[in-house]
Amino acid sequence: MKIPARVLADQLKQIKDSGRFSPRSGALPTWCPGCGYFGIHQGLNECIASLGLPLHEIVTVSGIGCAGRYPFFTNNYGLHTVHGRTLPAATGVKLANPKLTVFAVGGDGDGLAIGGGHLPHIARRNIDVNYLLFDNSIYGLTKGQPSPTSPIGSKTKASPYGTTDRPLNATLMALTYGASFVARLFAGDPKGITEALLEGVRNPGFSIFHIHTSCVTFDKAFKTWTNLKKWTHPLPEDYDPTDIRRAFDEVLRDDFSLGVIYKREY
Amino acid sequence: MSVQRFVVIGNGPAANRAADSLREKAPESKITILSKDPFRSYRPHLLPDFIAGALKEEDLYFRPHAYYKERDIILRLGQSVVNIDFSKRNAILEHKELVPFDGLIVATGGKPRIPEQFRLFEELMLTLKTPTDAKLWIEKLASTEAVLIVGGDLTSLSLTKALLKLGKHVRFILNEDAFWPRPLNDEVYRAVTERLEQRGVEVIHCRRIKRMTRLQENLLEMETDSQTIEAGVLGAFFGLVPDVRFLVKTGLDIDHGVLVNEFLKTRFTDVYAAGDCAQVYHPGLRDYWVSIGYENAAALGRIAALNLLGSRLEVRVEPESILEVGGVKVNTSWWTEF
Amino acid sequence: MPEVDFTVEVCGMAGDGTIAAGGLINEAMSLGGFSVLGFDSYPAEIRGFGRCVTNSRIGSNEIVALGEHAHALISLNDEQSRSRAPFLSEHSLVFFDSNPPTYVQEEKSLLSVAPPGVIIFGIPFSDLAVSAAGSSRGRNLTALGGFAAVTGIEPDFFREVIKNKFKSKGDRVVDINLKSFDAGYEYAMGKFADRLLQLFPKSEDRAGHDKVVLSGNQAIGMAAIDAGLKLYFGYPITPATPIMEYLAKYLPEHGGRVVQMEDEISSIGAVIGSFYAGVRAMTATSGPGFALMTELITHGVMAEIPAVIIDAQRAGPSTGLPTKTEQSDLQAAVFGGPGDSARIVIAPTNVEECYYFTLKSFQLAEKYQTPVIVLTDFFLDNRVENRPLPKTTGEQVACWNIFPGESSKGRYQRYDDTPSGISPRSFPGMEGFNFTATGLEHTEKGTPDYSPENHSKMTEKRHRKIRSALNDLEKPVEFFPNDQLDVGVIGWGSTFGSVLEAVEKSRKNGFKVGALKITSIFPYHSEIIKAFMAKSKFVLIPELNYEGQLANLIAHLDLKPVERLNFVTGAPIPPSAIQNRVEELLEVRAQ
Ligand SMILES: Cc1cc2nc3c(=O)[nH]c(=O)nc-3n(C[C@H](O)[C@H](O)[C@H](O)COP(=O)(O)OP(=O)(O)OC[C@H]3O[C@@H](n4cnc5c(N)ncnc54)[C@H](O)[C@@H]3O)c2cc1C
Ligand SMILES: Cc1ncc(C[n+]2csc(CCOP(=O)(O)OP(=O)(O)O)c2C)c(N)n1
Ligand code: SF4
Ligand SMILES: [Mg+2]
């Protein structure tokens, strides 16, 4: 049966207005005022609200970090694990009950440093987990040490003379690891996040959303709002996300083009 | 219904009796005492004995902090109310804090009166209202023998006793402004002069004080129409006047004190005044009178509290016990023979 | 000179300059010749919303524990400071901004919860700072000015430490801060002229000038550098991160390097690798990271490779309470990991010991060829004490490696079973002494061997080696020694200061009480501990953990049960709690 779009939109609105599925918890996020995570929160909340799924069938899994606090600010089920073990825990949740919609959220340190060993394997197994990687290129929670995505030369208290290590490119890694859905997004564009999520949630395998975001408290130099706004821009008009070669080309060429980078056709 | 919030401004007998009565009759309510003075409740009539060295400072005070704690009365000392916003029903404190209330009792008492003609010399004169004032007296007296007292209210008489006990040389100027709240007619003037002189006080007769100057740290000079007098300390004793200046801009009716009806209610709902700061309507006299004295204040405090909680107790004073002093009608529970 | 024992707290929001103000108090009072113990608490983690509190206890005698009640509170944010009201002592002094930018609701005001006995000093911090220096940023210093004036602290002490603190930022910044301080000082001298106190008698003793204010973490960092550390590997974790940050700043000047690894597993791996290659290396972590390290720590035990690991304990289990203090990793440090994996565990009790024990840990690791774990905790890491600048002798930094003799060339057995259990050790690059280090059970030569005889023999050898480390490990120290004790209190780690203060006070109350400080947690000096327990009618072990982890370790040394006092409040044990327990024990007995 095909439901007309208007009816669907009406139903959606009703669901939203009922507040029954309001995904936002009563707890006010404890992130610093101005933190990019608020935008991501908004984007994901909108997505959850639009999906119209009962909140008890949604699970948000996280590790440790400012990003890791996320589950406390939602009304669905949450699992706050230890540092870096977000993806293994999410794998367990999804395999245990495939009916659940699972979001994994975490910072760049959580996902690419301590938990970096897990990313290839969840992608390889193509577990139907939607992973939002909050990439602020810094360790927020522990007060501003360099992260695996900090650019060379980053000066922090833990690297007073500047870092010497090359940054990782999460989008490129995800493509390399064979993730079946890869999007690159910006916390300053919650609508873009919602749209990509709505599309990615439908991917029956591992979806990763690499989200550029700003740590206003500890990063005054690199991913500031001003810079991110200047740098980010949409993918080229004729972009085809089903073409993996095109995806690699794009990601090697440009760090900040936003949208669905790759989706596998089944 | 949410908890009733009662605020009492003041920490004298009126305020304390009011808070006690509120607590007794409204056990669930939140009661806050706001007091400008940084110290606990004290007995003002003991201040002269304290100055005389007959008492320790600790003896001035009554009601330990625990008293309030046990009764769940919030006692906030050293925090002045500078304004009241009756539309939002907030008491506004000096440090810019808003304290909301459902019911309010103003019991700010009196402050030493300085008659117009002496305002110029206010800096040079000591008054006596609080333990802090008393300590200043003690400090000044340590380095002087000669004390000059201008005025002559009840307080000055008990202070004089104390000064004499300390062996100080006391001189006294009684003029028409003095001796408040008693009218100073010739009869009283003569009687008091006689008493004072009997006790070894030198009473100086003069009409006008022309000039006052500080010669040295502890030497003042005063020139009257009749003579020039030197003294180490100069005390001004012209009675107490309601301490209500800060209320003028709040919209309360203020004459000398806060005008209240015979039920002690002000023009605002659930806002009452009691004690030395109030000017109470007397339906018989069709005029307002001011209360002076410890017991008076406490009794009024109780009535204000009960009326705030819904009673309708009227303040009853016999017209005969109300005196008129300088155009102000006064009733006092305090009149000790000197 | 009357005895000074004064505790002042500064409380504000992150960004108010709270921690800076507390730090300046510590420095100034140290300069003034007083003993200082300071401790900050703040929600650490995310900074945006946090409340910061600094606590400084200032004394004319040596201060060994935190102040339980504040005698003064300097509020830089009244809403946050409300939480401190219950800790104010009866007549404490409260300093606050009397002219905040906006009106404050009663439920957010400090004074609405301050007990009635406090003496309040309203000072328009922001206004004064703005008019003195053109910006309200220095309002924390204005507050200090008011505090100094009212309590009678020589303002020059503050001026000097302000200059020191800000000189790297240029004369202008120094000037702004001095002006802000002076504005508060002058205002209070005038406004409160009738209420000025002389709480801090001027001391002629200039000892303060030779002292430095150091945190436990700084002391550890300094010691590591003095010990000739070449490589630091770590992964950020509260409360160990400041060690990494300290080293990141200063180690390069000493020819070393800090490498932030991707996790704790790789951190300990790299430490073991560099010690294997003969280079002093270190890592610092806290419980969650320590747990990750345990496999590789036991690898160090098995393959007999040195490692130095600082475990800066925080409250657990799991992520736990990252910014709260606890002593609950003792069992994990001593026993954590697979197999019979005895290793060395030591625990300093104050900042000075943080320094000396870290120095020593490198030597112990080298000589006994095993991971050495230095157990500190949040309270010890972050508290500051003023101490004479640590000085090291050549002996304290000397290498304790034991190399194989030339004569053994050709017959070299890496895991030679000597009487002490210590086998001479070679490094890659030393010709003629090649071997393979392995975590598999191996023979004296290092060849894998699973035979029952070999595993029995080599396990015993490794444990014998650890026991022989007792020769080099710090012995327990008895305070107020006595032949007979009614209560013998045993303390370790950051809690020992509270034990000492409690015992001292109980003794003043006429009780026969003594204290034993244990810093060698494993192996431990059982004979000394046993003797102390035997002569005590009651043995009391206060610890910041629920299970009584030190008590569990040593209780068996005596027949009578040990009394325990366990706190898991996330805060240091107050001395009064220990004192009460001691006196309670004796009263019960007296009945
Ligand atoms: C030296 C001396 C001796 C006396 N001897 C006697 C005697 O022997 N017998 C006798 O009956 N009477 C005596 N009195 C008079 C008696 O003390 C007063 O009549 C009585 O205290 C009045 O009580 P009250 O509660 O109205 O006000 P008070 O006792 O004056 O108390 C006023 C309170 O209001 C507070 N306050 C004022 N303004 C503010 C503000 N803006 N914000 C917050 N709080 C404020 C003050 O801090 C104070 O706590 C004497 C008075 C003095 C000064
Ligand atoms: C095993 C372990 N090691 C270290 C930590 C300390 N730690 C907590 S969060 C974090 C990194 C935070 O950075 P990121 O993952 O980028 O998240 P963000 O705070 O930026 O959102 C670290 C090192 C820990 N909790 N557990
Ligand atoms: S520290 Fe940075 S990442 Fe963490 S909440 Fe604050 S702004 Fe966000
Ligand atoms: Mg991050």
CATH number of residue C361's parent domain: 3.40.50.970
Q: What is the pLDDT of residue C557?
A: 97
Nearest chain B residue to C105, by CA: B98
Edge to edge, what strands does the sheet with B202-204 contain?
B202-204, B169-173, B146-151, B233-237
Strands (E), B199-334: 202-204, 209-216, 219-224, 228-231, 233-237, 240-242, 258-260, 271-273, 278-282, 287-292, 322-325, 328-332
> Same domain for C247 and C305?
yes
> Same domain for C352 and C284?
yes
pLDDT higher than threshold 60 for residue B334? no
Chains B and A touch (3+ CB pairs under 8 A): no
Q: Is residue B63 part of a domain?
A: no
Q: Are C413 and C421 in contact (CB under 8 A)?
A: no
Which of B238, B261, B293 is the endpoint of a domain? B238
Please tell me whether residue B239 adopts helix, strand or coil conformation: coil
pLDDT in tens, B8-64: 999 999 999 999 999 999 999 999 999 999 999 999 999 999 999 999 999 999 999
Q: What are φ and ψ of residue B73, in 5° steps? A: -105, 125
Domain CATH code at residue B152: 3.50.50.60
Please tell me whether residue C324 adopts helix, strand or coil conformation: coil
Query: Two tokens at C174?
Result: 């120094």
Instruction: For C192-253, give the DSSP string.
Output: TGGG----S---S--GGGGEEEEEHHHHHHHHHHHTT--EEEE---TTTHHHHHHHHHHGGG
Chains C and B touch (3+ CB pairs under 8 A): yes
CATH class of A29-263: alpha beta
Q: What is the pLDDT of residue C359?
A: 98
Q: How far is the CA of B110 from the centre of ligand 1 (A)?
A: 6
Q: Is residue B155 part of a domain?
A: yes
> Same domain for C358 and C420?
no
Task: Please state, as a whole number, how many other Cβ atoms lie within 10 Å of the Cβ of residue A162.
Answer: 13
Among C501, C223, C240, CA closest to C351: C223
Task: Please state, as a whole number, how many other Cβ atoms lie within 10 Å of the Cβ of residue B269.
Answer: 11
Quote the domain boundaries for residue C534. 477-590
Cβ pair A113:C46 closer than 8 A: no
Which of B200, B223, B238 is the endpoint of a domain? B238
Cβ pair B65:C106 closer than 8 A: no
Total domains in the fold of chain C: 4
Q: What is the pLDDT of residue B154?
A: 77
In chain C, which residues have their Cβ closer than 8 Å to the Cβ of B40?
A: 116
The amino acid present at A1, given as its one-letter code, is M
> Same domain for B219 and B247?
no
Which ipTM score applies to this complex? 0.87
> Same domain for C368 and C412?
no
Total domains in the fold of chain B: 2
Residue A154 distance to chain C (closest CA, Å)? 13
> Same domain for B221 and B274?
no
> Same domain for C547 and C429?
no
The amino acid present at A117, given as its one-letter code, is G
> Same domain for B127 and B210?
yes
CA of residue A103 relative to chain centroid, distance = 9
Q: What is the pLDDT of residue A18?
A: 55
- Pocket flag, ligand 1, residue B275 (CB < 6 Å): yes
Query: Two tokens at A143?
Result: 């007060």
Chains A and C touch (3+ CB pairs under 8 A): yes
Q: What is d(CA A78, CA A103) in angstroms, rounded to the nearest whole number?
A: 9
Q: Assign A20 a pLDDT band (cuts: 50, 70, 90).
A: very low
> Same domain for C219 and C323?
yes
Q: What is d(CA B59, CA B54) in angstroms, rounded to the nearest whole number?
A: 10
Which of C193, C209, C225 is the endpoint of a domain? C209
Residues 6 or more apart from C48 whose CB is under 8 A from it? A30, A31, A32, A33, A35, A217, C14
Nearest chain A residue to C320, by CA: A82
In chain A, domain spans: 29-263
CB pairs under 8 A between A and C: 70
Q: Give me the residue from C111, C115, C119 closest to B95, CB to CB.
A: C111
* Beta-sheet pairing, B103-106 with B271-273: parallel
Domain CATH code at residue C144: 3.40.920.10
Mutate to test the pocket of ligand 2, among A62, A80, A87, A142 (most ligand atoms within 8 A of CB): A142
Cβ pair A31:C46 closer than 8 A: yes
Q: Whose CA is nearest to atom 49 of ligand 1?
A: B11
Among B309, B146, B170, B325, CA closest to B238: B325
Cβ pair B132:C99 closer than 8 A: no
Q: What is the pLDDT of residue B123?
A: 85
> Same domain for C373 and C260?
yes
- Pocket flag, ligand 3, residue A66 (CB < 6 Å): yes
Q: Assign B337 a pLDDT band (cuts: 50, 70, 90).
A: very low
- Pocket flag, ligand 1, residue B12 (CB < 6 Å): yes
Beta bridge partners of A120: none
Q: Is residue B70 part of a domain?
A: no
> Same domain for B143 and B199?
yes
Task: Please state, as a whole number, how many other Cβ atoms lie within 10 Å of the Cβ of residue C39.
Answer: 26
Nearest chain C residue to A156, by CA: C245
> Same domain for C353 and C438?
no
Please give the average per-residue pLDDT across B134-143, as a whole number: 94
Beta bridge partners of C517: C477, C491
pLDDT, tens digit only, all 591 positions of chain C: 568 999 999 999 988 999 999 999 999 999 999 999 999 876 555 555 578 999 999 999 999 999 999 999 999 999 999 999 999 998 999 999 999 999 999 999 999 999 999 999 999 999 999 999 999 999 999 999 999 999 999 999 999 999 999 999 999 999 999 999 999 999 999 999 989 999 998 766 666 678 999 999 999 999 999 999 999 999 999 999 999 999 999 999 999 999 999 999 999 999 998 999 899 999 999 999 999 999 999 999 999 999 999 999 999 999 999 989 999 999 999 999 999 999 999 999 999 999 999 999 999 999 999 999 999 999 999 999 999 988 899 999 999 999 999 999 889 999 999 999 999 999 988 999 999 999 999 999 999 999 999 999 999 999 999 999 999 999 999 999 999 999 999 999 999 999 999 999 999 999 999 999 999 999 999 999 999 999 999 999 999 999 999 999 999 999 999 999 999 999 999 999 999 999 999 986 665
In chain A, which residues have their Cβ closer than 8 Å to the Cβ of C248?
A: 157-160
pLDDT in tens, C35-76: 999 998 765 555 555 789 999 999 999 999 999 999 999 999
Q: How far is the CA of C106 from the centre of ligand 1 (A)?
A: 26
> Same domain for C558 and C432?
no
Domain CATH code at residue C561: 3.40.50.920
- Pocket flag, ligand 3, residue C590 (CB < 6 Å): no
Query: Scanning the structure block, which residue is given the tokens 């003794």?
Result: C507
pLDDT in tens, C314-325: 999 999 999 899
Q: Give me the residue from C48, C245, C263 closest to A114, CB to CB.
A: C263
> Same domain for C166 and C185?
yes
Q: What is the pLDDT of residue A1?
A: 44
Q: Is residue B271 part of a domain?
A: yes
Please give the average per-residue pLDDT across B243-271, as a whole number: 95
> Same domain for C305 and C433?
no
Q: Assign B1 a pLDDT band (cuts: 50, 70, 90).
A: very low
In chain C, which residues have their Cβ closer than 8 Å to the Cβ of A161?
A: 252
- Pocket flag, ligand 1, residue B105 (CB < 6 Å): no
- pTM, two decimal places: 0.87
Cβ pair C46:A82 closer than 8 A: no
Query: Two tokens at C30?
Result: 């140290």
Q: Is residue B308 part of a domain?
A: yes
Quote the domain boundaries for residue B284. 5-38+77-110+241-331
Q: What is d(CA C125, CA C145) in angstroms, rounded to the nearest whole number?
A: 10
* Beta-sheet pairing, C384-388 with C211-215: antiparallel
Q: Are C59 and C83 in contact (CB under 8 A)?
A: no
pLDDT higher than threshold 70 for residue B178? no
> Same domain for C185 and C263?
no
Q: Is A266 on the interface with C (CB under 8 A)?
A: no
